[in-house]
């Protein structure tokens, strides 16, 4: 038997109803905040992620699905392509390619699959789904303003509340500008030099290639060492400090609670200034639902014009997991199960089903080969509210029997009134 590849999974009903519920709420909130949807390819040039995400990040160094796309002739030099491990770089690439700066401030969102070859664990898959948004444009359009950061964070708080996720925490930090980062990295290297030999292999590598990534470490034995390291908050210049204070002030004014966490750095090289995570206790040790931050230099790094931006990505798999126990029952249940009494009534039953579906009712159509008891069993398994009998007497008289599956009550309804009666009984 051929099974799904390790690290992937099938999403089956009724779980998919919860996914659809989440995505509908996302679209509803995005519309209220004037975000528009963007859809980018699921694979891009490998160079995009090497330059955008950072060659020394774990994503690029260890986790990407990359291959050579050979030309038709064997002599043709192939292009290196990669399944997208995240979507911000692709959105910024589209911003540059299509000259979206002509539109001023761009508020874009996406929903779709991403791919990383990491060790599968609870809530983490090699094909996973992200919901994300980006605000990007010229500084003259207000893209650099702390008001944009605060609006994104307030929107996310609204989304989590509307989804019914209670007890979330917003953790906030500033990772400064490139000059701040250079000073901080120097201090960090000096602090790590005498202790790095006591840390895990990944941290020993990070200390050389990208010291900031040491703060991503989850190894328990490394935490006391990390706790004694310098913090980026000690190295912010006046502009970055003021920007971060303004973000906090706006959040306080709109009533969005937050916790300052100066160990929070996020896992990608393109972040500047504001960095954030929303966490939730239901997810255990790996408790981040979503994260994001500002990336004011990413467009230039990809060959585009200056275009300050801020964005986030929600791990939809983990978001759905955090909702699983508290979400309402969203399983699709038919309004009516139509039971033709005999094979000769199949065509008439199909006509009635078509009429009711045109009235936006959920209809399951039975088969006239079924006995009535089997029809009742089938309707019960589906959770249908009513069973509608289609027999020769009903067709001749125009009066149809509807049986309530919960109460057992049976009523006769004229054919012309069936849709209205079923809607009113919801």
Q: Is residue 331 part of a domain?
A: no
Tell me which of 272, 299, 323 is where a domain ends.
323
Banded model confidence at residue 233, pLDDT cuts 50, 70, 90: confident
Same domain, 282 and 403: no
363 and 302 in one domain? no
What does DSSP assign to residue 228? T
- How far is residue 283's CA from residue 293's CA, in Å, rounded to a whole number? 22
Which of 274, 294, 323 is where one domain is finished? 323
CATH code where residue 278 lies? 3.30.930.10
On whether residue 26 sits in a domain, the answer given is: yes
For the stretch 52-78, pLDDT in tens is 676 656 677 678 888 888 765 555 567
Q: Are 300 and 363 found together in one domain?
A: no
Reported confidence tier of residue 199, pLDDT bands at 50, 70, 90: confident
- What confidence tier does 189 reach under pLDDT thresholds 50, 70, 90? confident
Domain boundary among 276, 294, 323: 323
The CATH number of whichever domain residue 372 belongs to comes to: 3.40.50.800
Asked if residue 409 and residue 355 are part of one domain, the reply reads yes
Task: Give the pLDDT score at 98.
Answer: 96
User: Are 157 and 68 members of one domain?
Assistant: yes
Q: Is residue 203 part of a domain?
A: no
Residue 251 lies in a domain: yes
DSSP string of 98-159, one letter each residue: TTGGGGSSEEEEEEEEEE-----BTTB-SEEEEEEEEEE--GGGTTTSHHHHHHHHHHHHHH
What tokens appear for 59 in the block? 């994503």
Any domain includes 3? no
Task: Give the pLDDT confidence score for residue 74 in this predicted structure.
Answer: 55
Domain range for 67: 15-177+237-323
Q: What is the pLDDT of residues 410-422, one digit of tens each?
A: 999 999 999 999 9
**DSSP letters along 328-341, please?**
-------SEEEEES
Q: Are residues 294 and 340 in the same domain?
A: no
Q: What is the pLDDT of residues 116-168, one digit of tens each?
A: 987 766 667 899 999 999 999 999 888 999 999 999 999 999 999 999 888 88
251-310 per-position pLDDT tens digit: 999 999 999 998 887 656 678 899 999 988 755 555 778 999 999 988 998 999 999 999
What distance in Å separates the CA atoms of residue 16 and residue 267, rounded to the nearest whole number?
30
Question: Is the domain of 133 the same as that of 266?
Answer: yes
- Asked if residue 51 and residue 19 are part of one domain, the reply reads yes
Residue 196 is assigned to a structural domain of this protein: no
- Mean pLDDT check: name the lowest of 295-304, 311-320, 369-378: 369-378
Q: Are residues 110 and 29 in the same domain?
A: yes
Residue pLDDT, tens place only, 339-355:
998 888 999 999 999 99
Query: Within this chain, do residues 401 and 253 fall inside the same structural domain, yes or no?
Result: no
Do 371 and 241 share a domain, yes or no? no
Question: Is-contact 57 267, C-beta < 8 A?
Answer: yes
Residue 45: inside a domain, yes or no? yes
According to the model, what pLDDT value does residue 57 have?
Answer: 64
Beta strand 386-390 with 336-340 is parallel
Are 279 and 143 in a shared domain? yes
Which two three-digit tokens encode residue 274?
Answer: 């504001």
Q: Give a yes or no: residue 310 inside a domain.
A: yes
Quote the number of domains for the chain. Answer: 2
Which residues share a beta bridge with 108?
36, 134
Q: Is 116 exposed, middle or buried (0-12, 13-18, 19+ CB in 10 A)?
A: buried
């Amino acid at each position: 038997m051929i099974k799904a590849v390790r690290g992937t999974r099938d999403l089956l009903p009724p779980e998919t109803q919860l996914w659809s519920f989440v995505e509908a709420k996302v679209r509803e909130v995005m519309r209220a905040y004037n975000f528009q949807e963007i859809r980018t390819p699921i694979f891009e040039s490998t160079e995009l992620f090497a330059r955008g995400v950072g060659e020394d990040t774990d994503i690029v160094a260890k986790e990407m699905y990359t291959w050579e796309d050979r030309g038709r002739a064997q002599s043709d030099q192939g292009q290196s392509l990669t399944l997208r491990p995240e979507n911000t770089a692709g959105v910024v690439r589209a911003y540059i390619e299509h000259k979206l700066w002509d539109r001023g401030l761009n508020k874009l969102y996406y929903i779709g699959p991403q791919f990383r070859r990491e060790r599968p664990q609870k809530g983490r898959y090699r094909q996973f789904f992200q919901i994300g948004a980006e605000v990007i444009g010229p500084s003259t359009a207000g893209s650099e303003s702390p008001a944009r950061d605060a609006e994104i964070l307030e929107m996310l708080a609204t989304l989590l509340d509307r989804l019914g996720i209670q007890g979330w925490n917003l953790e906030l930090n500033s990772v400064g500008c490139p000059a701040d980062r250079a000073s901080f990295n120097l201090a960090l290297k000096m602090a790590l030099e005498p202790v790095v030999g006591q840390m895990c292999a990944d941290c020993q590598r990070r200390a050389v290639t990208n010291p900031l990534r040491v703060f991503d470490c989850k190894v328990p034995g490394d935490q006391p060492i990390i706790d004694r390291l310098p913090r980026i908050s000690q190295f912010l210049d006046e502009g970055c400090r003021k920007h971060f204070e303004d973000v906090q002030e706006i959040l306080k004014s709109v009533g969005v609670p937050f916790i300052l966490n100066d160990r929070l750095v996020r896992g990608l090289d393109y972040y500047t200034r504001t960095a954030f995570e929303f966490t939730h206790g239901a997810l255990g040790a790996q408790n981040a639902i979503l994260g994001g931050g500002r990336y004011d230099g990413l467009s230039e790094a990809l060959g585009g014009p200056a275009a300050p931006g801020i964005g986030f990505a929600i791990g939809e798999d983990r978001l759905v997991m955090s909702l699983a126990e508290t979400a309402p029952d969203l399983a699709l249940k038919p309004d009516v199960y139509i039971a033709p009494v005999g094979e000769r009534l199949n065509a008439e039953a199909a006509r009635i089903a078509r009429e009711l579906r045109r009235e936006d009712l959920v209809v399951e159509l039975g088969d006239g080969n079924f006995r009535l008891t089997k029809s009742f069993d089938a309707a019960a398994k589906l959770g249908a509210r009513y069973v509608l009998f289609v027999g020769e007497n009903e067709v001749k008289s125009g009066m149809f029997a509807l049986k309530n599956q919960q109460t057992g009550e049976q009523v006769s309804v004229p054919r012309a009134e069936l849709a209205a009666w079923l809607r009113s009984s919801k």
